[in-house]
């Protein structure tokens, strides 16, 4: 359908108060933007991860993953492209004034220091600590979503609403898991620096180690679930909004006797890119010391067992060029980063960073300030 109709339908759904999700997968060459509109306000939960639909899971508590079942939702799509002129205008715009709350800075630096000390006493090797920040905004959620679509073509961009969770929006650079037939893909993403006009940059020892921990842990956790070798790229620099990260692509073939979607999700989530290593100790530290509830930040979301139609020609020499369609199931999940929860006139941002033995509290605070720009920059007209 055309974009105008798509957004009109979305607006009607918003008014109905029923759950929905609108989203675009990263780097979609057609700008394919999809929505699933649930026809009642019922809350569906999944713990088996074998249904077909869109899942929205929190950081903690595996039995609390919401989902919108494909069979109880209307599916609509549009091809939405950013108006380039409009986009340029946005790029020129200043970020809203950087929020510097002395109290929040002191608190975050203290938390980082506690993390470093726990690493020094051998409690864990890495922990990811985060904070929340409330920002005023005059924009409606739908306008924020359009801004995200325009600004972040390489990210997974979404707008989720459920009466039980409230409104969440984000533009995340991190894939948790992609599965198509028996092929899987994931990534190790960690280490951050500000983008200063080039992606050709050097990385310090701290960032290299921080990202290597994530790669090693993903490889170890997937080892008994695959058939054959797990392939991985060399770490490379990737751009996400105004930031650069280190990324390693990881892929392979699943062993269907030893793995299913649930076991894969449990093996990966939460990765040391959002939690730490070892997982259990780092998670305990986070829950005890962060002092707020992450809710769906650093959880995961995306298409789960969704049917995808693949059209292909049965025979290239076939004069009629007849197309045959085959249906396959696809799962494409992302880690919920660079996100916000929207309440009347207020956006709550969630931002974190990985701590290792070499971290510096003041730098870690600054990193969260830089990361918050991804979201802050879409909160202005």
Ligand X SMILES: C=C(O[C@H]1C=CC=C(C(=O)O)[C@@H]1O)C(=O)O
| Residues in contact with ligand X by the rule CB under 6 A | 128, 130, 174, 189-192, 245, 273-274, 337-338, 351-354, 371
As measured in angstroms, the least distance from the Cβ of 93 to ligand X is 22
60 exposed, middle or buried (CB, 10 Å; 0-12, 13-18, 19+)? middle
Dihedral sign for Cα atoms in the order 367, 368, 370, 374: positive
CB of 293 to ligand X, least distance (A): 15
Q: How far is the CB of 191 from ligand X (least distance, A)?
A: 5
Q: Nearer Cβ to ligand X, position 19 or 241?
A: 241
Of 33 and 188, nearer to ligand X (C-beta) is: 188
Nearer to ligand X, 7 or 160 (CB): 160
The nearer residue to ligand X, 35 or 112, going by C-beta atoms, is: 112
Shortest CB 373 distance to ligand X, Å: 11
Structural tokens at position 84 = 């380039």
Our CB check for ligand X shows the closer of 73 and 274 to be 274
Q: Decide whether 265 or 337 has the Cβ nearer to ligand X.
A: 337
Q: Provide the 8-state DSSP code for 271.
A: P
Output the smallest distance, CB 278 to ligand X, in A: 16
Beta carbon nearer to ligand X, 79 or 134: 134
Among candidate residues 4, 307, 348, the one with its CA nearest the CA of residue 146: 4
Compute the distance between CA of residue 17 and CA of residue 281 in angstroms, rounded to an integer: 40
Both tokens of 120, joined, read 């020094």
Q: How far is the CB of 111 from ligand X (least distance, A)?
A: 13
3-state DSSP call for residue 284? Answer: helix
The helix/strand/coil state of 198 is coil
Helix (H, G, I), strand (E, B) or coil at 201: coil
3-state secondary structure of 232: strand
User: Is 247 strand, coil or helix?
Assistant: strand
Q: Measured from the CB of residue 159, what is the shortest distance to ligand X in angstroms?
A: 19
**How many angstroms separate the CA atoms of 286 and 133, rounded?**
17
Task: Name the minimum Å distance from CB 254 to ligand X.
Answer: 25
Nearer to ligand X, 19 or 361 (CB): 361
Q: Which of 10, 21, 351, 347 is nearest to 158 (CA)?
A: 21
When the beta carbons of 144 and 254 are compared against ligand X, the nearer one is: 144
How buried is residue 229: exposed, middle or buried, by Cβ count under 10 Å (0-12/13-18/19+)?
exposed
Query: Smallest gap, in angstroms, from Cβ of residue 206 to ligand X?
Result: 10
**371 closest CA partner among 338, 340, 336, 334:** 338
Smallest distance from the beta carbon of 88 to ligand X, in angstroms?
26
Select 65 or 351, whichever has its Cβ closest to ligand X. Answer: 351
User: Of 198, 194, 187, 130, whose CA–CA distance to 156 is shortest?
Assistant: 187
CA–CA gap between residue 331 and residue 124 (Å, rounded):
32
Quote the CA–CA distance of 336 and 171 in Å, as a whole number.
Answer: 8
- Look at residues 135, 126, 203, 53 and name the one whose alpha carbon lies nearest to residue 372: 135
């Amino acid at each position: 359908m055309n974009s105008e109709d798509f957004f009109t339908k979305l607006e009607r759904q918003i008014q109905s108060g029923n759950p929905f999700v609108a989203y675009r997968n990263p780097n979609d060459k057609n700008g394919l933007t999809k929505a699933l509109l649930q026809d009642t306000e019922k809350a569906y939960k999944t713990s088996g991860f074998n249904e077909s639909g869109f899942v929205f899971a929190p950081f903690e508590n595996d039995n609390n993953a919401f989902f919108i079942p494909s069979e109880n939702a209307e599916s609509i799509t549009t091809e939405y492209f950013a108006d380039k002129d409009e986009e340029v205008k946005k790029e020129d715009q200043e970020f809203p004034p950087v929020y510097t709350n002395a109290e929040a800075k002191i608190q975050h630096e203290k938390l980082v220091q506690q993390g470093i000390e726990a690493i020094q006493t051998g409690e864990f090797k890495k922990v990811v600590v985060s904070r929340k920040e409330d920002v005023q905004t005059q924009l409606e959620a739908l306008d924020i979503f359009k801004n995200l679509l325009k600004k972040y073509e390489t990210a997974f961009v979404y707008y989720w609403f459920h009466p039980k969770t409230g409104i969440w929006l984000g533009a995340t650079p991190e894939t948790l898991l992609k599965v198509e037939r028996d092929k899987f893909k994931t990534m190790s993403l960690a280490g951050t620096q500000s983008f200063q006009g080039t992606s050709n940059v050097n990385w310090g020892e701290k960032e290299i180690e921080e990202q290597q921990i994530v790669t090693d842990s993903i490889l170890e956790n997937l080892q008994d679930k695959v058939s054959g070798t797990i392939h991985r790229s060399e770490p490379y620099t990737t751009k996400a909004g105004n930031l650069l990260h280190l990324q390693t692509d990881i892929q392979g073939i699943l062993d269907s006797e030893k793995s299913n979607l649930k076991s894969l999700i449990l093996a990966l989530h939460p990765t040391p890119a959002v939690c730490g290593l070892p997982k259990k100790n780092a998670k305990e530290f986070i829950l005890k010391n962060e002092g707020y509830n992450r809710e769906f930040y650093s959880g995961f979301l995306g298409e789960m067992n969704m049917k995808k139609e693949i059209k292909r020609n049965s025979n290239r020499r076939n004069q009629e060029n007849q197309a045959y369609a085959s249906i396959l199931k696809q799962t494409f999940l992302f880690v919920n980063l660079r996100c916000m929860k929207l309440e009347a006139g207020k956006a709550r941002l969630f931002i974190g960073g990985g701590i290792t033995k070499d971290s510096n509290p003041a730098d870690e605070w600054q990193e969260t300030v830089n990361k918050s720009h991804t979201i802050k920059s879409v909160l202005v007209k």
